[in-house]
Amino acid sequence: MKINISRQYIYLMVVSLFLFIFVLVFSFAVLIPEGKEYRIKRVELKKTNKELREYENFHNETLETLQDLKSKNRRIITAFDATFNPSRFEKQNKNYFSSLSISEVNFLKVEKDFAIYEVNTTSEISSPSTFYDFLDSVNKSDWIIAVNFPINFKRDGELIKSSFTMKVYCNNKDSNITASSSVDK
């Protein structure tokens, strides 16, 4: 039996077959992998965005904590930043003493992140109660000062001569820093 197909139909079938194969190959080799990649990348982006949002919330909470801590400790932070100024200290505390003299500021040591300077003080007080008032005022001063031993009280007529050491704590800006360069004299 002879099948009689015209040349035109054969041509039509060949073109159809070629285009069909092209569509199939293009879909399976290019489009579907690209689609899979699209899906993966979309999920990844969503995950990263979610992570970012969570981290932003956490970051904002920490920022709030920091700001709260800063506002609560503003005086302490400023006091640690301030360099000790003996003349200003004398001016602020002269009311508690009949006379007050402060020796040169000496660098003592660095403890953790804080530099410690030592100041020797000699003074005359009218009664021990003024010294108590001075100790109260030291805790409210512009610097972080610890009144340290040895403390000596000696009667001198109507007055009491006193001598004591003060330790001034401040931020250690540079470990090689010297007392003369970092502390106002």
Partner 1 sequence: MKYSYITPGKKTAFTQEIQLLLSFFTITILMLLFTYTFLLYKNYTFVQDKNSTLRELASLEKSFDNMKVSISFIERQQMLSEKVYTQNSVLKDSITNLFDLVPLRITLSEASLLENGLILYGITPNKDVYNFMLQAPLRSIFHRTYSSFYPAKNGWLRFVSTNYIDEEEELSSED
Binder among 10, 21, 27, 99 for partner 1 (CB under 8 A): 27
Do the beta carbons of residue 124 and residue 98 sit within 8 Å? yes
Stretch that binds partner 1, among 33-41, 86-94, 95-103, 118-126 (CB under 8 A): 33-41
Beta-bridge mates of residue 98: none
Number of residues that bind partner 1 (CB under 8 A): 62
Element spanning 99, H or E: strand 99-102
Query: Alpha-carbon torsion 117, 120, 126, 129, what sign?
Result: positive
Site string for partner 1, 118-147 (x = CB under 8 A): ----------x--xx--xx-xx----xxxx
What are residue 5's phi and psi, to 5 degrees? -110, 130
Give, as ranges, the residues between 56 and 115 that touch partner 1 (CB under 8 A): 56, 58-59, 62-63, 65-66, 69-70, 73, 76-77, 79-80, 112-114
The yes or no reply on residue 28 touching partner 1 (CB under 8 A) is no
